[in-house]
Structure 1
């Protein structure tokens, strides 16, 4: 592939754009911070391209007071642009209409730099007794997401440890016994909840592409790789898969894994040096590796 064509490809798409949907306190901001490898709040730009006052931004993200058209960008990784729904759990018809309009326009727009590439639908496991509410069913039945993959994200899965302890105590275990058994019990609870959610949503008109659980996103060991994998695998176009993998910067192993997997399955001549280099570069962190290649013409 000619360097000019590669530059043109990334210039046309620009960023990997994600709509994040979910209830208040679903841990959405924490997930975005983990994906972008930062603890800072994002910079927010409105539809006019004007930056929103950071004082207004702080404390509003999880309560959903901003506009769905706003762009959330973390300075640590500006390759991702996020949009966040607002007032979702309230079940407001006006808010659902706004979301449906946004998805319909942004999933098919000819302005490639404005197109959304994936939707992350967050359901917190802190509310495990009401995993699917009416507003969420309305979304999956009424919002046409045929052109953009939806990944259901079961957030705060580690909260099920406390629920497991309570259940074990109710079953007659001592506190010490409950704590000892809580890990395995929580895993079983999550498995059942995930199966129940998938079964319910698969019956909807526009079911999600996949479902993944995340835990401890506010901890250093929190692992967002399952979400990145699900998102990548849900994309139909290899170029979009390259875009999300090359944009993520939390795990270089993902870049190498997808580069090798796709190259081995699609490359006609894996021993052609130039072709192999370009194929590998397509999956690498583009801000660093591709820029170096454009400047120096070699690895």
Structure 2
């Protein structure tokens, strides 16, 4: 799949769907709130997309068929499975059936894209039999699974020894490695990655730094470029990841400036809607012209362009360009730079730029 083919396919996606598996006390809801950067409870929907409840706590979520979202980031759709602590084989069958059903969906937005399997860390109660069986069963589709170890701080507390205080974290890490990671690594279909969390319910904690690790490892686990682009652009926790993948995943853009802008914008959430790629294109042209009047051999092009960009960003022209471009694109249903403008659109686009040029005392009209 070429770079631009991936971008076109990504445009068909509107949501990234994640199944979250874990015991009732695994801290799943707290984790998802951190991922979506909110303190609000989720909204729950039935299979027909009908809102079942107003924002609610964990009660009522544990139906794997019901999807729920957080208003702070509704492009993430979550499903919840209550884990396998009851030892009921039917619970495992229900999860595998759900994964298989979603793998057969024709609509990519209805498919399952990733699984976060949350484990409760307990030194005396490691992996449950059905948890291990999940990773040894044949699973439909190619949905990556990330093993998420929550409440690492609780494990440290379990192993705390006043005489060996400094070694408590080391001992806890050893338990995670030997009693959880190693058995999972020996499974038929082992997790794509492992992530450890602690103190997620601490409002003063570094939970966003921890979430960045989950986001990065989930992105790395996705083999499909369009899905990777979707996930990276939907998440809001790690903007460095948007830049990283725009650079490292680029292979065949050639020398087209439009393709470069189109590709780069596709990795950022806010650049996929309301014609921001066209707005950026207009802003670049306006600032390139403006930089001509700042430019001289002493300062060079880069500082001249930076000055022009700063001037544009704080001008009334910026808001007018955004509004005019949005009107143009919505009227013509053109949403990305890979679609050619009609001749009339080109005239309108050109006039938008001319009407919003930045003023300079020494500038003369050279057209």
- TM-score category (smaller protein): 0.7 to 0.9
> Partner of 2:263 in structure 1?
279
Taking the aligned partners of 1:99 and 1:143, their CA distance within structure 2 comes to 12
The equivalent of 2:69 in structure 1 is 73
Give how far 1:260 is off. Answer: 2.1
Q: Describe the SS at the equivalent of 2:44.
A: strand
TM-score, normalised to structure 1's length? 0.83
CA separation of 1:160/1:54 partners in 2, compared to 1, >3 Å: closer, same or farther?
Answer: same
2:123: which partner in 1? 128
Does 2:182 match 1:199?
yes
SS at structure 1 position matched to 2:135:
helix
Q: 1:150 aligns with which of 145, 153, 175?
A: 145
CA distance, structure 1, for counterparts of residue 178 and residue 244 of structure 2: 28
Which of the pair has more CA radius of gyration? 2
Deviations 1:84-116 (A, max 9, x none): 013532122222221111001112421211101
C-alpha deviations, 1:10-59, integer Å up to 9, x for none? 4532211000001111011111111111011110001132212248x424
3-state SS of 2:147 partner: strand
**Counterpart in the other structure of 1:41:** 41
Q: Deviations over 1:233-254 (max 9, x none)?
A: 1111111111111000122222
Q: Is the 8 A contact 1:107 1:117 kept in 2?
A: no
Q: Which residues in structure 2 correspond to 1:164-203 (within 5 Å)?
A: 164-165=159-160, 168-169=161-162, 173=163, 178-179=164-165, 181=166, 184-203=167-186
Compared CA separation, residues 21 and 42, structure 1 to 2 (3 A): same
The structure whose RCO (Cα within 8 Å, separation 6+) is larger is: 1
Q: Out of 191, 194, 198, which is 1:211 matched to?
A: 194
Aligned-residue RMSD, C-alpha: 2.7
Q: CA deviation at 1:202?
A: 2.7
Structure 2 gap segments, 5+ residues each = 284-367
Q: For the Cα contact (< 8 Å) 1:246–1:255, is it kept in 2?
A: yes
Query: Do the aligned residues in 1 keep the contact of 2:261 with 2:277 (CA within 8 Å)?
Result: no
Could you tell me which of 86, 92, 116 is aligned with 1:90? Answer: 86
How many Å separate the matches in 2 of 1:195 and 1:16?
Answer: 33
Q: How many residues align?
A: 276
C-alpha displacement of 1:129: 2.3
Q: What's the secondary structure of 1:26's corresponding residue?
A: coil
Residues 123, 154 of structure 1: 8 Å contact kept: yes
| Aligned counterparts, 1:181-260, within 5 A | 181=166, 184-219=167-202, 220=204, 221-222=206-207, 223-260=210-247
Q: What is the aligned partner in structure 2 of residue 140 from structure 1? A: 135
